[in-house]
Chain A
Amino acid sequence: MPQLLLELFSEEIPARMQAQAAKDLERMAREHLAAAGFLPEALKTFAGPRRLTLVAEGLPLAQADRREELKGPRVGAPPQAMEGFLRKTGLSQDQLVERDGVYMAFIDKKGRPTAEIVAEMVEAIVRGFPWPKSMTWGTKKLRWVRPLKRILCVLDREVVPFAIEGIPSGDVTEGHRFMGDGQPFVAKDFDEYAAGLEAHFVVLDVEERKQRILEGCKTLCFARHLELVEDQGLLEEVAGLAEWPTPVLGDMDPAFLDLPPEVIRTSMRTHQKYFAVRKAGEEGLAPHFITIANIQAADGGAVIAAGNAKVLSSRLSDARFFWDEDVKVGFEPWLEKLNGVTFHAKLGTMAQRVERIVALAGEIAPLVGADVAKTKEAARLAKADLASQMVGEFPELQGIMGGYYARQFGMDSEIADAVRDHYKPQGPSDAVPTATVSVAVALADKLDTLVGFFAIDEKPTGSKDPYALRRAALGVIRIILESGARIPLQTVLARSVQRNELKYTLSLQAREFRQDAPSLGDFSVSVANDVLAFFADRLKVTLRDQGKRHDLVDAVFALGDDDLARIVARVEALDGFLKTDDGKNLLAGYKRASNILKAEEKKGALPTGEPEAPAADSAAEVQLYDALRVLKGPLADALAREDFTGAMAQLAGLRGPVDAYLDGVFVNDPEHRDNRLKTLAAVREAMGQVADFGLIAG
């Protein structure tokens, strides 16, 4: 079956856009082909520094001929309807067929040549490609990420003829910019294309480029007893910057090794896109780097290594300059500067944010067993490094530099660690802080962010989360769960709003959207509840990722608890319980009981009060009555101990009696209705102490 090969050859495509471009090209091509009735046997796309490539196998050379059936007017319909239908189909009435009282038109459609469809498809893809940023060039109106130079488009070894704004399709492309003969070459199918690129020093597949980089780095390292400091993000980026990636090892002046390793690595990575290396089996960095060149130079890369080493030296000299200047300044002047740094127009300056974090951290400290004075001091210092020169240059070193500078100034090591770690965790793979002072400051940092943005109604919506509030909430959840910290979040959050509400600039406008919360107290509770609900949502995502049922989170949150550690313990116990036979059946029993209660509730208010002892001859009633009575004390004890597995075990004892009761007792017996409803309500209430079983699916 014929093969389609398409290459869009352009000037250098930003590395960060390439992976998505390959996906978009594949998606758009599949959609267009499917719309034309084609289902290629295989379709693969590639993206690199200068080209997007698509190869589709197993396309027919033309669409199949089709017979279209069109339903027309009913027999006896007004003549206008028939006229319209004939106009639309281009047929005459005697060509229509009557079927079940309706006129039908059958139109034979000749399949179009695939080449025609491909030509339209390529034009539509090129004109509609979703580049994050695109441009025009020269006198053209066409937009592409950078100037588009060539379009190679062959179907079954024949050029698919078309032109887009003066760029004609063809069967010619180019290889590497500098290596090889530099002459364009012809490729009529994918095999010729791949062979041509290889001969012209281009590695088409990004996975192969990455492989080549890693293997090259490892070979260089091995010879010198070094180890590559792996960096996946950097690898992805450099694989998009070279068509013939060639690792070159260079030397760094060892005198720079007294800079913090994070500074060296960040300088290497952000400015120069170098990999760092360390001595095999050792911790610190080695005085070398690896750059990924785009050419295999005739001199083995000696000039490239020397040039890059020089650039790195001047970069690291800058970093040392920042360090030297910073240690001359110190925390207090930086804190002063934070008065002039806006955090958010409606949330005041960074200095005001620091005040809020200090207050929150001071409140959290005793709850997590941290020294209050140290915690408040750490919180006060945590953001100071934002005003340092080093963080100005390398924003990703925020916190890390604060930690180094705190140590440099001889501050308490718990404080220095908390300054360093308070941004953690910065993503799902980042570790959470465990030291108590760090835990308190890290929580305060994130809770202030959440409270603040919720108070000014800047909640995340859909895929938009500009202030990374989801990450902050997940961070709080992870810190609390991993440290087992017990924090009454509702109270802490509401108090934080109350404390700061008047300081939020535009606070009145901020409150306007909460018509339901006229007083400050109502407002703070309303914000706190929103944040809690947000935690519930995040928790569901976390538990779902762990393979747990997320409806259980709702069932537990409905109890109104705001202690995440306790909530999760409950969810876990509930999850375990519902996996047992007892759990499943008791849930079913609960639903039956609760349905009866709901149905009866519609007729009028349910009777209230404790059920009375049933007649001794009604075994099922006695059994349940006794079970409920026996359950009471131990259930309360287990809940008080927060032994939720124990509490579930107690509930398990209800299963048999509840089943027997529901199967054997006629609740609406006029004589016993009140007491029986009270019994069912007692079941619902007992179970409701553990979770709202009514919110559990199943």
Chain B
Amino acid sequence: MLSLALELTQGSRGRRRSFPDLLRSMSREKPKSFQSLILTLHDYWSRQGCVILQPHDVEVGAGTLHPATVLRALGPKPWNAAYVQPSRRPGDGRYGENPNRLQHYYQYQVILKPNPENMQDLYLGSLDAIGLDLRTHDIRFVEDDWENPTVGAWGLGWEVWCDGMEVSQYTYFQQVGGLDVSPVAGELTYGLERLAMYVFGVDNVYDLPFNDPDSPLGATSYGEVFLENERQQSEANFHGYDVAVLKQQFEQMEEQVPLMLARSYQNKALVLPAYDMVLKASHLFNLMNARGAIAVAERASYIGRIRDLCKLCAQAWVDQQEAA
């Protein structure tokens, strides 16, 4: 079955549109702010036929972990979606003092399943849409095989470099939750802050224009929105959370996952709530890690525990998809 994205980008003669053709059809309105960068990507991927989703409402360490990617990558059904996902990496907190590092930031995530033939061209079209002139900048696809051991996932692909800076991760998923991804899903991840800093020529993330700098209601910077959050969350991540409580919560979540999977509604195991619990466990692990409560030797075992939970969910999800 052809994906929607592929159908939409095929010309009427059935010939694949080459990259310059795509460029000529683009509007050349360049984003001026962080939020318009996001809106441009939304608009672009919406025009390619993607479902534009909103963030998942559980803390995750990366946009990939949204069920719209981890779970929907599995099973036989086509799925094309794009969304922004706030990502939390408690250990990366710098109290707002590092111009490049945040414990809460945004990833833009696209998943195309099965990956269309012209996915690379579609991706390049998105860079052009956000204002990167591909005949002036140096875009390269540099080998980078992606792997996420906590969800038992890996794929082959590249880091995409723009003038030496990694602007995206481009992956053809081969396995998720230890299961083969078939048909293969193509995944794109854009680090939004970094990309925006590059596009707008800003050296400090907190100086990024969040809204249009010429807005009649006044300009708002990224720092005005998030700096205080970075300070307070950093302190909580490194010193605030009670390790004993985190550990207890982790163990409770771990216990609950199989129990939730054992329950069902209309003959379907409760995979989606169970997966949310896996995400919570994963975030609790990240918090414990940031608090320095995980010894080097324990790390692998915690990751293995989360992966096992994730595999349970993945298998249950695939069973449901294949039964449907």
Contacts and interface: CB of A to CB of B under 8 A. Distances in A.
Interface string A251-284: 0000000000000000000001110000000000
Interface in A291-313: 291, 293-295, 297-299, 303-304, 306-308, 310-312
A11 interface: yes
Interface string B144-157: 01000000000111
Contacts of B226: none
A314 B100 contact: yes
A396 B249 CA distance: 40
B18 to A, nearest CB: 5
A273 B116 CA distance: 31
A15 B143 contact: yes
A303 B295 contact: no
5 contacts: A138-B115, A242-B140, A272-B164, A304-B138, A308-B164
A135 B155 contact: yes
B184 A299 contact: no
Nearest to B157: A146
Nearest to B118: A149
Given A137-B114, A139-B184, 9 more contacts: A12-B143, A16-B143, A138-B117, A178-B134, A182-B18, A297-B135, A298-B135, A307-B165, A308-B138
A304 B182 contact: no
B114 A303 contact: no
Interface centre among A12, A297, A303 (most CB of B within 10 A): A12
Nearest to A250: B164
A311 B163 contact: yes
A215 to B, nearest CB: 19
Contacts of A307: 137-138, 162-165, 198
Interface centre among B19, B115, B162, B165 (most CB of A within 10 A): B165
B136 A299 contact: yes
Nearest to B197: A310
B183 A294 contact: no
A138 B120 CA distance: 13
A614 B120 CA distance: 94
A9 to B, nearest CB: 12
Contacts of B295: 340
Contact of A147 (B143, B172, B174): B172
Contacts of A139: 1, 114, 183-184
B141 A12 contact: yes
B138 A295 contact: yes
B323 interface: no
Contacts of A84: none
Contact of B141 (A11, A183, A341): A11
B136 A303 contact: yes
Interface in A137-194: 137-139, 145-147, 149, 174, 177-179, 181-184
Nearest to B184: A137
B183 to A, nearest CB: 4
Interface in B108-123: 114-117, 120
A149 B19 CA distance: 14
Interface centre among B139, B141, B183 (most CB of A within 10 A): B141
A294 B139 contact: yes
B138 A297 contact: yes
Interface centre among A134, A138, A177, A294 (most CB of B within 10 A): A138
A136 B184 contact: yes
Contacts of B198: 307, 310
Contacts of A66: none
Contacts of A183: 18, 20
